[in-house]
Amino acid sequence: MAAAGFWFAKDLLMVETPPTYGNVLVVLGGGLEDRARYGAQLFCDGLASSVIVTGAGDCIISRDYLTTGGVPPENIRLECDSRSTRENALHTAPILREMGARRVVLVTTWYHGRRAFTTFRDAVPEMELSILCTRPHLVEDRRPTFYSARWVFREYVKLGWYWMRYGISPWGKPTAPASAGPGMPANV
C-alpha to C-alpha distance for 64 and 60, rounded to whole angstroms: 6
Q: Indicate the fold that domain 2-166 takes in CATH.
A: Rossmann fold (3.40.50)
**Residue 181: pLDDT band with limits 50, 70, 90:** very low
The arithmetic mean of pLDDT across residues 144-154, rounded, is 81
Residue 185: pLDDT over 50: no
C-alpha to C-alpha distance for 82 and 10, rounded to whole angstroms: 26
Length of the chain: 188
pLDDT, tens digit (0-9, with 9 covering 90-100), for 22-73: 999 999 988 768 999 999 999 999 999 999 999 998 899 999 999 999 999 9
C-alpha to C-alpha distance for 164 and 153, rounded to whole angstroms: 17
Residue 146: pLDDT over 90: no
Domain boundaries, the chain: 2-166
Residue 175: pLDDT over 60: no
Average pLDDT across the chain, whole number: 86
**Residue 178: pLDDT band with limits 50, 70, 90:** very low
Residue 179: pLDDT over 60: no
User: Cα–Cα distances in Å, from 90 out to 12, 82, 102, 124?
Assistant: 24, 8, 16, 9
Give, in degrees to the nearest 5, the angle at Cα 15 between 56 and 118.
Answer: 60
**What share of the chain in percent tops pLDDT 90?**
64
